[in-house]
Chain A
Amino acid sequence: MKQPDAETLIRHIRDVAASVGTARIMEVCGTHTVALFRSGIRSLLPENVRLISGPGCPVCVTSQGFIDAACELASREGITVCTYGDMVRVPGRKGSLADRRARGARVMVVYSARDALQFAVKNPDRRVVFLAVGFETTAPATAVTLVEADRNNVENFFVLTAHKRVVPAMLALVAGGEVAIDGFLCPGHVSVVIGSDAYLPVVEKGNWPCVVAGFEPHQMLRGILRLLEQISRDEAKLENVYRSAVSPKGNAQALAILDRVFTPAPAVWRAIGTIPDSGLDLREPFARFDARSRLDLEIGEDYDPPGCRCGEVIQGKIDPVECGLFGTTCSPAQPVGPCMVSGEGTCSAWYKYKGV
């Protein structure tokens, strides 16, 4: 069956939107935020359809305490910190990992958790710490890497974990009641792992429509259309318009290895605070790789840099332009908060595509 083209979808969206008041749709995932901007979809939607960016940029939701702890580790003698590239420029209380690197700290950007493990194997004289951030798209990679490290008994490899789970955050956000949301556009590639059924609690407990969509324009448009149709009928259902990649139950192998290595635990989200079950702690057999306990590392209190409103941005409470620092003292070249650092941060996307 031929899929309707973008123009037809937008026409349908306009038709359905005419029958609802304001529809507030949260795109949970940072990749969606950027894709919605760059495809031009945001500017094509009718005015009463509001897109709100959610807490789905892994760098943005990582607490300042974690960033500071990573910087402290990097400054220690004999330690190499391996990280995904986005984390390097996030400012901590005393500068970023990039600043530390400029002053001689060993900070290495890796493409994959496996690269960090391979580096550790090749450099037995160094203690190698991988910053394990990200949602369920990246958490299985950490899990496989730890199973590999365990099997090969690699003793100089550690992880500082701040993995996050998407669904508990969505539930906490709506339970908080401070952000009005009429429906969720659910992430594509996180859902490849967790499966579309993972959002059933959001639909059933909260009565919020959820539609899983991919990142291509026609997929996002279909997702938005389905959400508007549900909103107009006052329904709350789970739909999946990304069946080519997302199954109801997700990737069984990935979920099994996640469960083998990690157990759900409370986690601290920037400015939101602690959300039950929203993080992943290492299970006992893998605790020997935990940088926190093995390297005596304290994760300090979370805080926002002065004037920075990233915390409100990631919860969808304000748009980036409502922050006094946006585009003035805070820009991608000189970011104050993480939402301006990450390529998937809401502030960075607004800055780049709104022509500040």
Chain B
Amino acid sequence: MCLAVPGKIIALKDIDDSGVGRAGTVDFQGNRVDVSLALVPEATEGSWVLVHAGFALNVIDERDARETWKWLEEAKIVDDIPEELKGTGEGQTQNGNAP
């Protein structure tokens, strides 16, 4: 539950000017997910961020991010964290658990 996953911001969306609604589309090795950027005001398009439960927690180096991905894939941890990668981007459905 406390594993954050690195991804790259490929587009920014400013939902309002407060910063709270600041969001972006983050690419996780091809999966694109809308993520809140409210906690990382310094993040811009192209930044790599660590994402947990739909929120970017900090900005990290691309090199570290790529190393982490190597580990996630080699150790097959990626199979266990689909919820981090499935997301609820526009046009996508929820996790399949209808209310």
B47 at the interface (CB under 8 A from A): no
Q: Which of A58, A86, A110 contacts B95 (CB 8 A)?
A: A110
Which of A113, A147, A216, A344 is within 8 Å of B54, CB to CB? A113
Interface residues of A (CB under 8 A from B): 29-31, 35, 38-39, 56-59, 80, 84-86, 106-115, 118-119, 123, 126, 134-135, 137-138, 140-141, 144, 147-148, 151, 187-190, 192-193, 215-217, 244-245, 251, 253-254, 257, 342-344
A88 to chain B, nearest CB (A): 8
Across the A-B interface, the 8 shortest Cβ-Cβ residue pairs:
A112-B54, A109-B97, A244-B64, A108-B99, A141-B55, A137-B2, A144-B38, A189-B4
Contact string, B77-95, partner A, CB cutoff 8 A, digits 1/0?
A: 1001001101110000011
The complex places the Cα of A135 from the Cα of B60 at a distance, in Å, of 21
Provide the main secondary structure of the chain B interface: loop
Asked whether B86 lies within 8 Å of A245 as measured between CB atoms, the reply is no
Q: Nearest chain A CB to B76's CB is how many angstroms away?
A: 8
Q: How far is the CA of A56 from the CA of B2 in the complex (A)?
A: 9
Give Cα distance in the complex from A13 to B75, angstroms. Answer: 22
Chain B's nearest CB lies how many Å from the CB of A57?
Answer: 7
Task: Kindly list chain B residues whose C-beta atoms are within 8 Å of the C-beta of A119.
Answer: 99
Q: How does the 8 Å CB contact mask read for B1-23 relative to A, with 1 for contact and 0 for none?
A: 11110000000000010101100
Q: How far is the CA of A30 from the CA of B26 in the complex (A)?
A: 26
Given A141-B55, A144-B36, A193-B57, the answer on whether A111 and B21 have CB atoms closer than 8 Å is: no
Number of interface residues of B (CB under 8 A): 39
Residues of chain A lying within 8 A (CB to CB) of residue B68: 216
- Would A111 and B53 count as touching, CB distance under 8 A? yes
Q: What are 19 A-B contacts with C-beta separation under 8 Å? A: A56-B2, A85-B83, A85-B95, A110-B94, A110-B95, A123-B99, A138-B2, A138-B53, A144-B20, A147-B20, A188-B2, A189-B3, A216-B71, A217-B75, A245-B64, A251-B39, A251-B40, A257-B38, A342-B1
